[in-house]
Structure formats: structure tokens, C-alpha cells
Chain A
Amino acid sequence: MTGRIVIIGYGMAGARLATELHARPGDHKVTVLGAEPHRAYNRILLSTLLAGKIDEADVELTDLAGQGADVQTGTAVTAIDRATRTVRTTTGEQIGYDHLVLATGSRAVVPPLAGLDPDQLPDRVVPFRTLDDCRRILAAARDARTVLVLGGGLLGLEAARGLAARGLDTHVVHPLGHLMERQLDPAAGAVLAETLAGLGVRTHLGVSATKVAANPDGVRLDLADGRSLDADLLVLACGVRPDTALAAAAGLAVERGVVVDDRLRTDDPHVSAIGDCAQHDGVVGGLVAPAWSQARVVARLLTGEDAHDRYRPPPGVTRLKAAGIDLAAMGELPPPGAGHAPSGDNGGPSARCEELTFADPARGTYARLRITGDRLTGAILLGDNPAVGTVIQLFDRGAPVPADRRALLLGRSVDGPVGGTEPAASPALMPDATTVCRCNAVSKADLVGCWRAGARSVAEVVTATRAGTGCGSCRDAVAGIVEWLSGVDPVEVTR
């Protein structure tokens, strides 16, 4: 398709779309308008930035400047005129489009608390969403000793972990009974809270905040249970809301997000929406994987690479991985003991549903798998579990789970090591057919035969069989067998 493509938003979705467009042939002119003053950055790395492990330059995403796109940063769009197919920017410019893509993302929710004006937050109260937010948090954290994080979801915990890693006394206040309630069950949430405690993050669960009082010296958060927490900094991580203002003002269909179909089209065929601002099949975004998948579909459609491509939401996987925390959560997990799969589940009405759980809170380990038919339909893995990669892939790809479920639940099969050339503890117990020397295909039987034929030392056995002359790693095993033979076979020796 030939034409002028305008992308509003230079975040992870907008930048990705520009890259995807560039990777495909076509005579399109791409303009990217970003409200933030800086180059697109990787939001996923912001908590690492908070932890002080990297610099701002390290969170930059691929440079689009060299990729044929006209990128205008610090340029917000003030209005969309669908009749003339133009957008107007804060610089007063009018830019025409043949196709417009909204990638406006979402904004941090500022909770309705007494003492908190969303339009005029005190210096010591900062949402955790953008690079600018990070700068403000870091500026405030420089002299801080104690920090409060309001919100115990994924974002709040990542912020808390990053700030704790800087040595700050970190408290998380969460109104619900357990952490990350959207992804975790109460048992997993409890194990996670324990893990966080070990990393210097204290959690206050099941209690709402009621009031914020900030002054130049500190911030005080009043809780519904009557307590007050004092800190040097309050980070707000109370969720995000799709940024739909432009779309709504332009008369596009907007519910929670900008409503799109399987082609990511809004109700105007010349306008698409992707990423956090889009609402597809009743679901609004928030994760990178769907946003990038959407960018790819739009690129394929707009360039004509595949006019029939349609967006299918990738399975949702939530991953929290930081030093000391290893959490993966995916799929649907009804409350424990809720019974069997509803009819129409992936495995069909008659599919058998299994629930497997393993908890070792003392070691910070929790695992829960839900298997419907022979497919994994939900999982929580917390703590070091070597099977985490396998579990995610099984879920992601809908592949059949192994017969031995323990391998997934515990991270290892209980049936022992996989093959190997290690000799048995005693040569006597080693089967005759066991290969002792792989490089020269020498079995135990060959060594015994060699001994019987008259070889009486390791050197003689090696010369005759060539065992140990390749990689040399079986030399000890050969010596052990010769020693064993000389012990058990004295009659042979004297014959």
C-alpha cells in the first residue's frame, strides 16, 4: 500500500510499528509523533534504571532515524480531523495521513486520595510510568531513606524491588489481601510477600490508603486501619488507564480503550489503534507481547504483505524476574478447589482437568499447574524452578505436557539423569554392554575380553582396545575396571 502513515505515539508500540514497516518493502512515508521529548525507550528496563544498574542511554530502543521514518519527539497531537485526514500538533503543524495509527499508550492512574491533586502532584509523590517519572523518582530517592509504594501489582513490585536494590527502606501498601491478585492465588501471593521481605521490601496488605500529606521534608500516607506511614517518597503504582482522549474527541468508538477489530481497525477504516490504548475483544492492553504482535499485524496489513492477516492475542504470560525473585504466571487459574474445567474449555467438555501444586514456603518455592486434557491452561511458578522455560513454552505453544508431571512441577524428572557415560559405582554392577570409551566404541565386555586375552595392565588394555585414546575422559573408568578385574579374577591371572 502506498501512502502516508502517521503514528501517534513513540512508545514501545509506536516505535515497533515503525520498525516493522521499515522492514517491509513498500512506498510508504512514515511519520511518528511522540509527545515525550526523548527517543523511544524500553519501559521494561525502567525498574532496572531505578535499581541504578544502567544509565538512561541503555534503555533506548532501536533508532528509527536511520530507518526512513520521520520522527518528531516532543510533539503531541492536539486534534485529529478525520474528514480531512489530518492531525494537528502542539507545534501548530497540520499533517495529512492516508492511514493513522493510534499508539498513545496509557497513563498512570492517580488514585482519588484526599490531599492528592492529579494535576499538581507534590515533588515527593510520583507515579511510576514514564522515563520522566523515573527521573523524578531518582531525584527524590537520592536523599531518601524510606520509600512507600502504593500498589502491589506487577509494576509496583518492580518499582519496589528496584528501589530496595538501592538500599532504600521500602514499603508496599496494597488494598487487597494478597500481592498481584490478578495473576496469583493467595498462597503464591503469601510466598511472594515472604520473598520480598527477605529482599528488604515490607508489604502492608488488605489496607487502603485514605490520605496523602506531603511537604518539602517528607510524605505521610494515612491508612484505613488508622495507621500512618511516613516516608521520603511515595511512588504511585495503582494501574494505568488507556489514553483515549484524542480518539474520543475525534468521535471514534471508545469504551475502556479505543475499540478495534481483528485488523486493529477502529470504526474509521483509515484509523487503527495498537498497544495499551487499544481495546480488542473487550480486552485492553498493558503488556508488550500483545502490543508488538499488533504492530506486526498492522505492518503486514498496511504494506500489503498479508491482506488477510488478523490479530490473535498471544497467551498472556506475566514474568517478574529480578535478583532474588523468579515468578512466572500465565493463563486461567480458578481459586484452588473450585473444581473441574467448565465445558467449552480448551480440552472440550469432557477434557479431564488436573490441578497440581507444590509449595515449600520456607524455600520461597511455589508451583501450581492446571492441565486440561494434556494441555497446560494455567500456571504459577515462584522461586527457582528449572522447568520455567519449558512451562512457558508449553503454555505459549499449546504443546502436550510430559507424562511425568513432576518434571514440570519440581523442575526435574525423578527418574534420574538422562543417559550418560558415567560408569556405575562398581564395575561389577556395570552391564557388559555399557560403553566405557565412546570415542573408540569400547564396551565393558571388550575390556573384560581383552583382560581374558592376556592384557594385564592399564597400558596393555589401552593399547589393545584403544579405550581412553580419544578424548581421554574415560581413563579413570578404564583403570577402575582393570583394577576390579585384577581383584576378582586372580584365577585367570594364574592360568
Chain B
Amino acid sequence: MTDGARAATSPGQPPREAATHCPYCALQCGMVLRDSAGRVEVLPRDFPTNRGGLCQKGWTAAELLDHPERLTTPLLRGPDGRLRPATWAEAYDRIVTGIRGLQAAHGRDAVAIFGGGGLTNEKAYALGKFARVALRTRNIDYNGRFCMSSAAAAGMRAFGVDRGLPFPLADLGRADTLLLVGANPAETMPPLARYLTEQRERGGRLIVVDPRVTATARLADLHLQPLPGTDLAVANALLHLALTEGWVDREYVASRTEGFDAVRRIAAGWWPARAERLSGVPVADLEAAARALGTARNVIILTARGAEQHAKGVDTVSAFVNLALALGLPGRPGSGYGCLTGQGNGQGGREHGQKADQLPGYRKIDDPAAREHVAAVWGVNPDDLPGPGVSAYELLDSLGTPDGPKALLVFGSNPVVSAPRAARITGRLRDLDLLVVADFLLSETAELADVVLPTAQWAEEDGTMTNLEGRVLRRRALREPPPGVRTDLRILADLTTALTAPSALPALSAPSAEVVAGDPSYRFLPSRGPLQPPDTAADSADSADPRVVFAELRRASAGGLADYAGVTWERIDAADGVFWPCPDEDGPDSPRLFADRFATPNGRARFHPVEHRPAAEEVCDEYPLYLTTGRVLAQYQSGTQTRRVGALRRAAPGPFVELHPDLAARLGVEEGDELLVRSRRGELRAPARVTATIRPDTLFTPFHWGGDGRANSVTNDALDPVSRMPEFKVCAVRVEKVTP
């Protein structure tokens, strides 16, 4: 039973309320959900991240709770190739039979899991455990690989820990100089812009680096508009100027860092005119930016996907981290480097084990001590834990191939729309013997599934999320899921039991789905597997309880980098969230990191020498234009949810291709003309949007739509060598007008 459901539900009662957070982005705006006789209303809540603000996505989030397209029964693909409603027992039977058969024939790794950065901490944790313990497959990764992985890797190698913002968001409002690189929060997380307004009103300077004149760039005092894929050179040039102008904090570099000399020598080779020629950013603007960064007191440098979603994303972030370190920012109160996390639980989702190379607590799966610790919590032999798997794109690209997985279970993700080179990935998904998708709407990926499992929505479940500040928050349920719908945790618990208790399998067909759904006290199956020692309370049903899962997560994370051992739901309730690491229930949490030391073995931050290199695909005669991708305010990620909300659909009805008036004139294109954009990998069709806010050599298209206008039909699947991040943000294309 969920917390929220403890209130009475009969008519005539006062409205039930739940103080929770928005289901969408990593800002996790505080909101109150009020259920008045079945109608759910969103009210803003004064929370440190949003200060009472909400964007249109947040205001309309509850519309999906009772949406007519909501899935309320499992779907099975029949012999005729069509999805038809089925019972939970039938669905589980198909899944379990399929998994057993495929693992028996092809080994454990024949089954793979694909998770999401929107899942709660509890779900991310349970998914990782399910993969490693119930399936014993090494093949698990998640869509955060497409989101945060480059910043995570760069943060890890510089600071020894990866927390998006190592300081509270409120610091942004007090920064004297704020540099945003490839970040467009005015569009992607609008309430954050309140801090930008505050910063400006206090006289601070805002510098934005973006190839487009975005809503955020318009707020800036200085906008650097580089050619896509040249941010790294811009960063090295800024460091060059910091060196030649004497703005490097030599004392900080000497006492708190290591490896500066190698970086200094590379920066010496990036005199501003060289970066200017490559990026198109005038030397004078580079100088102005460097001066604002080098001479102000409180300085914050933030990167986001624009800098990170490249085949050199990690090195690009490292270049900005190097700049921050040279200026002595990280760890100085009011200053620092951070990245703006994208997905709702993009931070927590990357800490608890749904990443191919990770175990809970941000532990490494190939670290013997980490394996021992987590195996002990899980009650298994460390040797039985699988090793690291491959990254998201590589995993998707191997599906259905002779050596690749034959079955995939997808939770909280829609790779048909969100993966790069999406047409190829769609083909891979079709090649699977078994595709299972858990979602509450029929996403493009779910449309391909053999089994679709209807899941609960955010307002129907309890749990925790970790926002872009590393602040652990409470998601609180307002009401029960509709009949026929189960939570992801429940599904994982059910499948675990079914997979690990062979003798119980026949019972699968016994109770009807309706009975199961209607009786919250129903225990799907008795626990007989080796995973749940009979002397513990953690039987299969309890492992569907987010409180129980969180308690276990705390133990599993204890001693890890992302230590949640001291975080309790009560403590979160009492204090607007708890910042990790928080090892002791009675000890402090960590709003600010790095005051005294970094999380490296010797406590020093590490410079990392990085050189610019060209994009994986540069323009040529055949594909003479750059294409970059991104978001629009009224849509979120692959759009599965927001495209089904009326007001959002009206605000952003479909895909489009932005192009500069000069380019449009040369092509004879006018506003609204249908364009065909082709790359070496595929094509997309969408109407033209002619705007001077983009460089004449670059096109932009948003990635929220599937079908003909799918941005990722065109994007490049070249991967960063470290983070395995695909190069979403730049590829070479040509464009033509579609003649009707």
C-alpha cells in the first residue's frame, strides 16, 4: 500500500493532497497534487529548486493519469502479429518462458535490460539487482548513457566523484560570472531561469556558449556562438587567456590539484586566434569571457548536453573542468563547476547500478571490494555477480545479432525515438526473440514489443529521486494505480520470484490479473528462491515496497561514493531533501562538496590534458551542413508523455527544421515548406522554420518525435571512447525542399 493511499478515498471526503515533485526533468520542481473527487490538480510548491514556479509541462503533468490512451492491461503480441489485451499471468508466463528458453539456449547474457534516467532510485536499484541476481546477465544499461555519461566520466576523472552540481542550485543566483556551455535551461528547465534573473539583478554576468541564439542565450550578457563540435577549442582558448593574463590561481593549483603542467602546455598551443578560426567565436569575445571568468569573485561554470553529447564529450567537459580548476573554482564557496542533469532522476539513476559497469553506491562492478560488499547485501556469492556489460548504444546495436542478446526488457525508456541512428536500432529491436516493454503509454518502442506491461505513474507511487543538485527527494503517491496496473517494483519482484522459484511457475496461471490488481495484500507467489533468506522479512512482496527497497539501497550504497546510508525518508521529509553523500543517519549531509578535499585517493583534483579533435563526421560536398539536435520547452525527451497532453501538443505540435534565412533563400525555402534532411544514416522530413537565431551553416531539429520527423533517423552513432556517449549534437547533412 502506498503512503498516499492511506487517506480516505470515498466521495465527500476532503480532497487528498500529496506534496511531491514534477515527473519530468532533473530540476524536480516541488508541486502539490490535489485529488478532488477523482480530478487531479497541480499546485506549485515553494521548493528550493523552483521557488514556486512551474512550466507548462509541470502544470499539465496530471493529465496523463486518466488519459484515454493509458495502458491498463498487459498486451501480448498474438500469432496474427497484433498486440491484444492479456492477463498478468499470461504476460508473465510469456516473459518467464521466453527468458528461460533463451538463457538455456544461449547463456545468461542472452537477456538484456534497458533502463531509464526517469526511474526512481528504488527502481534503478531494483533493476540492477534484477539483472545481476535474477537474470545474472551482464547486459544492462540505460538511456542515461545518452544523457549524462560524458559529464559523469569527466567529473569522475577530475574530482573522483560525479555529482552534477556539487553545490546547491541557489549558488547560481549569487554568481558574479556564470558560464553556461551547451545549456538552455530557459527552455529545458524554465524555473531555473529564476536564478538567472536573480543573478542578473545582482549585477552578475551571464555568458552562454551555444551555436543557436536560444532563449537562454538571449538572457546573456555575452553569447559565444561556436560552430557545433568546437566547444573544446573554446575552452582551451579561455584557459590560454587565463594563463597569459595572469588569472590562473597558482596557489590553488599548487595546493589542491595535480597535472597542471601538461594542461598548461596544451593550452599554450590554443592562442585565441586559432580557436577563433576553428569555432568562429571572435577573439574579442573570448577575451571578454575569459576576463569575466578570471577577474570575478564567485564564478560558476556549467556544462550540459550541448557540450557533452559528442564523440569527444568527455574531453570537452574536461576542458571546462580544467578551466574551472585553473581559476581555483571547485570547492570555493559560491564558485565551482557543475553539469545540468537532464532527466528527472538522471543523477540517482546513474548511481545505483543500472549502468553496465556499476553496482549501487556508484561502485565499480570490476572492483572486488565493491562486488563483495554488494553481494553480501544481496545474499549471493560475489563470484556469481556478472562482470561489466557494454554501453547503451552498443547493447542496442547488438540485439538479435548472433552473439547479442535475444531478449530485452525495457523500463522507462523509448529507444526507438531516443537512440542515435534510430532506424538501425529499430531493426535490431525487431530482430529480438522477446521484447518486453514496461510503460504506461504505448510508446514507439512498446509498439514493437511482444509483451507490454502497464505500469504506475509518478502520482501513484512512492520513492525517492535525486535531483540535479544531488539532493535526494521524496516522490509521494497521491493515489493507487488504476486496476490492472502495477508498479515497476512490483513487476520486478514478481518476475524475480517467478524466475528463481521454478516449482512455483505453474501457479502463474492461477489468479486472474484483476484479482491480483484489486487486492493489494495479495502475495503473488511465496518466496522459495535462494535470493531471499527465509529469516529475513524481505520476501518478494516486500521487495515491491519502495520503503523496503530503499532501506536495502542504503545498505548497498554504504561506503560507496554515492553513500545514502544516512538518508531516511523521514529525514528527507523534514528538510527539503538530503544531499548525498550522507553516511550517517545522525551525521550531516553534503550540500557542498570539495571544501577541503576532492574524492580522489590523494584528495587533489586532477587536470586532464585534452586536445580538440574534429567531429566524427565533418561537412563535405555531399553533406555540406551541420545538424544539431535539442529540445523544445513544451515537450520532454521522446515525447511519449508530453505529446499526449493537449496544451503541450498545441504549443509544440510537431517536429521542425530550423534554418537561417540566408540558407533558406539559397534553397528557395520558405517558412513551413516541407524539408528533407539526409545524412549518411537516414533521413527526416519536417517543415522549415526560418530563423536568424541559428548559424547559416547549421540546421537544428528537436528530437521529441518519432515517425518521419524523427531527429535520430539522421544522428551519428559515433561514440565517445570513454563515456560511450553518441554524437547527437553534430553530424553532416544535406537538405532539400520536398516538392509536393
| A residues in contact (CB < 8 Å) with B | 42, 44-45, 48, 53-54, 57-63, 288-289, 317, 319, 321, 326, 384-390, 392-393, 396-397, 399-400, 402-404, 413, 418-421, 438-441, 466, 469-473
Bound CA span A472–B692, Å = 25
B56 pairs with A321, CB closer than 8 A: no
A45 pairs with B244, CB closer than 8 A: yes
Quick one: closest A residue to B200, CB to CB?
A473
Q: Which of B256-307 contact A (CB under 8 A)?
A: 261-262, 264-266, 268-269, 271-274, 276-277, 279-285
Bound CA span A42–B274, Å = 13
A420 pairs with B218, CB closer than 8 A: yes
A470 pairs with B53, CB closer than 8 A: yes
B59 pairs with A469, CB closer than 8 A: yes
Additional pairs, 12, CB under 8 Å, beyond known A326-B284, A390-B280: A61-B268, A62-B266, A62-B269, A288-B274, A389-B276, A397-B697, A399-B697, A441-B633, A469-B52, A470-B54, A472-B194, A473-B219
A469 pairs with B54, CB closer than 8 A: yes
Bound CA span A419–B694, Å = 11
| B139-147, B185-193, B574-582 - interface stretch | B185-193
A469 pairs with B44, CB closer than 8 A: yes
Given known contacts A54-B244, A61-B268, A418-B693, A440 and B281 CB-to-CB distance under 8 angstroms: no
Q: Is the interface of A mostly helix, strand, loop or mixed?
A: loop
A389 pairs with B280, CB closer than 8 A: yes
A471 pairs with B243, CB closer than 8 A: no
- Residues of A with C-beta under 8 A to B245: 53
Which of B276, B633, B691, B696 is the one whose CB lies under 8 Å from A399?
B696
Quick one: closest A residue to B186, CB to CB?
A471
B262 pairs with A473, CB closer than 8 A: no
CB distance from A132 to the nearest CB of B (A): 18
Could you show 14 A-B contacts with beta carbons less than 8 Å apart? A45-B244, A48-B244, A288-B274, A387-B282, A389-B276, A390-B280, A399-B697, A402-B662, A403-B665, A421-B218, A438-B190, A441-B634, A470-B53, A471-B197
- Does B208 touch A at the CB level, under 8 Å? no
A441 pairs with B56, CB closer than 8 A: yes
A418 pairs with B691, CB closer than 8 A: yes
A58 pairs with B692, CB closer than 8 A: no
Interface size of B by Cβ–Cβ distance < 8 Å? 60
- Residues of A with C-beta under 8 A to B190: 438-439, 470-471
Closest 9 CB pairs of A and B: A471-B193, A441-B651, A470-B190, A319-B273, A439-B190, A389-B282, A389-B280, A470-B55, A471-B190
- Does B213 touch A at the CB level, under 8 Å? yes
- Does B227 touch A at the CB level, under 8 Å? yes
Quick one: closest B residue to A40, CB to CB?
B265
- Residues of A with C-beta under 8 A to B696: 399-400, 402
- Residues of A with C-beta under 8 A to B59: 440, 466, 469
The 0/1 profile, CB within 8 Å of A marked 1, for residues 633-676 of chain B is: 11000000000000100110000000001100110000000000
A317 pairs with B277, CB closer than 8 A: yes
- Does B246 touch A at the CB level, under 8 Å? yes
CB distance from A445 to the nearest CB of B (A): 13
CB distance from A71 to the nearest CB of B (A): 14
The 0/1 profile, CB within 8 Å of A marked 1, for residues 171-202 of chain B is: 00000000000000011001111101100000
A418 pairs with B662, CB closer than 8 A: no
- Residues of A with C-beta under 8 A to B272: 321
- Residues of A with C-beta under 8 A to B276: 319, 388-389, 392
- Does B5 touch A at the CB level, under 8 Å? no
Q: Which of B134-154 contact A (CB under 8 A)?
A: none
CB distance from A41 to the nearest CB of B (A): 8
- Does B215 touch A at the CB level, under 8 Å? yes
B693 pairs with A419, CB closer than 8 A: yes
CB distance from A408 to the nearest CB of B (A): 11
Q: Is the interface of B mostly helix, strand, loop or mixed?
A: helix
- Residues of A with C-beta under 8 A to B633: 438-439, 441
Given known contacts A321-B273, A420-B218, A471-B191, A45 and B268 CB-to-CB distance under 8 angstroms: yes
CB distance from A411 to the nearest CB of B (A): 9
- Residues of A with C-beta under 8 A to B283: 319, 321, 326, 388-389
Which of A42, A58, A466, A473 is the one whose CB lies under 8 Å from B56?
A466
A470 pairs with B191, CB closer than 8 A: yes
The interface centre, meaning the residue of B197, B219, B272, B273 with most chain A CB atoms within 10 A of its CB, is B273
CB distance from A33 to the nearest CB of B (A): 20
- Residues of A with C-beta under 8 A to B691: 418-419
A393 pairs with B277, CB closer than 8 A: yes
A439 pairs with B55, CB closer than 8 A: yes
B662 pairs with A403, CB closer than 8 A: yes
- Residues of B with C-beta under 8 A to A389: 276, 279-283, 285
CB distance from B734 to the nearest CB of A (A): 14
Quick one: closest A residue to B271, CB to CB?
A44
A388 pairs with B284, CB closer than 8 A: yes
- Residues of B with C-beta under 8 A to A57: 264
B284 pairs with A439, CB closer than 8 A: no
- Residues of A with C-beta under 8 A to B193: 470-473
CB distance from B274 to the nearest CB of A (A): 8
Bound CA span A438–B56, Å = 9
- Residues of A with C-beta under 8 A to B243: 54, 58
CB distance from B283 to the nearest CB of A (A): 5
Q: Which of B105-128 contact A (CB under 8 A)?
A: none
Quick one: closest B residue to A395, CB to CB?
B277
The 0/1 profile, CB within 8 Å of A marked 1, for residues 204-223 of chain B is: 00000000010100110000
CB distance from B266 to the nearest CB of A (A): 6
Bound CA span A48–B268, Å = 11
Bound CA span A16–B243, Å = 21
- Residues of B with C-beta under 8 A to A470: 53-56, 190-191, 193
A469 pairs with B53, CB closer than 8 A: yes
CB distance from B189 to the nearest CB of A (A): 9
CB distance from A214 to the nearest CB of B (A): 32
B281 pairs with A63, CB closer than 8 A: no
- Residues of A with C-beta under 8 A to B661: 403
Which of A289, A392, A472 is the one whose CB lies under 8 Å from B280?
A392
Bound CA span A438–B190, Å = 9
Given known contacts A419-B213, A471-B197, A42 and B268 CB-to-CB distance under 8 angstroms: yes
The interface centre, meaning the residue of B192, B261, B692 with most chain A CB atoms within 10 A of its CB, is B692
Bound CA span A85–B265, Å = 33
CB distance from A50 to the nearest CB of B (A): 12
CB distance from B208 to the nearest CB of A (A): 14
Quick one: closest A residue to B692, CB to CB?
A418
CB distance from A204 to the nearest CB of B (A): 28
A440 pairs with B269, CB closer than 8 A: no
Quick one: closest B residue to A288, CB to CB?
B274
- Residues of B with C-beta under 8 A to A58: 243-244, 264, 268
Bound CA span A18–B244, Å = 25
CB distance from A235 to the nearest CB of B (A): 21
The interface centre, meaning the residue of B215, B261, B285, B650 with most chain A CB atoms within 10 A of its CB, is B215
Bound CA span A441–B665, Å = 29
CB distance from A247 to the nearest CB of B (A): 27
B692 pairs with A439, CB closer than 8 A: no
Bound CA span A438–B216, Å = 12
B284 pairs with A61, CB closer than 8 A: no
Given known contacts A62-B265, A400-B662, A471-B190, A413 and B692 CB-to-CB distance under 8 angstroms: yes
A393 pairs with B268, CB closer than 8 A: no
CB distance from B471 to the nearest CB of A (A): 20
A396 pairs with B277, CB closer than 8 A: yes
Which of A45, A438, A440, A441 is the one whose CB lies under 8 Å from B215?
A438
